[in-house]
């Protein structure tokens, strides 16, 4: 069933205002125009506009106070992982994008590592069979060179690892990473690292799981992700050099930009 028209308009208004905030057109501390002015600008009614503002407030991009209107927040302090795909698409400084990815990749690895430990300790026969089925699907898709199927299958594979740990806490921690990963990969397929060892990694991971070898599982996971993350950052650094920009220092001002360059052309495509 299609969404009600007002819902679609509210989503469009929300995305446009979000773009203006993330790009810096509406800086932190700025006030949004009044409801009447915004409703006229977007050709909608005030109720629909309020729904868009409510979504901005939910994503911590604005604060709404009675008598003070709607104020743009400093999203670099108040934001959450769900903003990352939109920020990468909207931002204008490629150096900040590289710096952001440098920071998020080790955090993602820590989540996957701990989820893998729990999977070794708690996976049921059904969990193992599910991972075996997805692994077979992914390897077949890789051999056929089917990037779309690999993308969807790899997301299912990550979900299956989290599920195999049977931990609500880890599921809640992992969900923001997984959701941001899905959206980033959909929007920026060039961020996928081209690496030929993907099938072997899947086999080794599954072997460690079946053998309930926790330390081997962690080592397999760490070796693979550290290697592909290094390749990704190398490709991004190359793109940064071509753009003539340099990465900002960790404590420096931040402003951001989408960016992805093709990794080395000789290898097969797989998810980062």
pLDDT tens digits for 194-223? 578 899 999 999 999 999 999 999 999 999
| Residues 149 and 95 reside in one and the same domain | yes
Q: Are residues 105 and 231 in the same domain?
A: yes
- Give a yes or no: residue 264 inside a domain: no
pLDDT in tens, 224-236: 988 888 887 877 7
Note whether residue 62 is domain-resident.
Answer: yes
pLDDT > 90 in the chain, percent = 51
| pLDDT of the residue at 229 | 85
As a whole number of Å, the end-to-end CA separation of the chain is 34
Distances in Å between the Cα of 247 and the Cα atoms of 5, 103, 124, 229, 242 are 43, 13, 45, 17, 13
Do 54 and 145 belong to one domain?
Answer: no
d(C-alpha 157, C-alpha 161), whole Å: 6
Full domain range(s) for residue 17: 5-79
Tell me the average pLDDT across 128-154: 90
Rounded CA gap, 136 and 143, in Å? Answer: 11
pLDDT band at 129 (very low <50, low <70, confident <90, very high): very high
Task: Let me know whether 141 and 192 are in one domain.
Answer: yes
Query: Are residues 19 and 152 located together in one domain of the fold?
Result: no
Which token pair is 147? 């990037």
- Is 144 within the bounds of a domain? yes
Number of domains forming the structure of the chain: 2
Q: Domain ends where: 79, 94, 112?
A: 79
pTM over 0.75: no
Res. 35: pLDDT tops 90: no
Asked if residue 235 is part of any domain, the answer here is: yes
Residue 94 lies in a domain: yes
Say whether both 66 and 98 belong to one domain. no
Which CATH number does the domain housing residue 119 bear? 1.20.120.530
Q: Is residue 156 part of a domain?
A: yes
């Amino acid at each position: 069933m299609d969404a009600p028209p007002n819902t679609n308009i509210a989503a469009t208004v929300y995305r446009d205002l979000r773009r203006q905030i993330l790009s810096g057109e509406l800086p932190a501390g700025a006030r949004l125009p009044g409801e009447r002015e915004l409703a006229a600008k977007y050709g909608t009614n005030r109720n629909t506009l309020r729904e868009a503002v409510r979504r901005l407030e939910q994503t911590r991009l604005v604060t709404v106070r009675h008598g003070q209107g709607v104020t743009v927040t400093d999203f670099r302090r108040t934001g959450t992982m769900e903003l990352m795909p939109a920020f990468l698409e909207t931002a204008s400084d490629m150096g900040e994008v590289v710096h952001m990815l440098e920071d998020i990749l080790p955090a993602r690895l820590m989540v996957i590592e701990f989820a893998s430990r729990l999977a070794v300790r708690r996976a049921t026969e059904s969990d193992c069979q599910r991972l075996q089925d997805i692994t077979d699907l992914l390897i077949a898709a890789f051999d056929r060179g089917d990037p779309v199927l690999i993308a969807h299958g790899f997301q299912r594979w990550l979900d299956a690892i989290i599920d195999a740990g049977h931990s609500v806490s880890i599921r809640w921690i992992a969900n923001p990473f997984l959701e941001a990963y899905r959206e980033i990969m959909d929007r920026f397929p060039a961020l996928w690292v081209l690496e030929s060892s993907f099938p072997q990694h899947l086999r080794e991971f599954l072997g460690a799981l079946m053998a309930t070898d926790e330390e081997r599982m962690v080592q397999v996971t760490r070796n693979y992700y550290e290697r592909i993350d290094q390749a990704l950052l190398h490709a991004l650094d190359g793109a940064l050099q071509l753009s003539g920009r340099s990465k900002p220092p960790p404590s420096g001002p931040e402003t951001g930009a989408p960016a992805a360059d093709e990794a080395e052309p000789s290898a097969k495509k797989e998810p980062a």
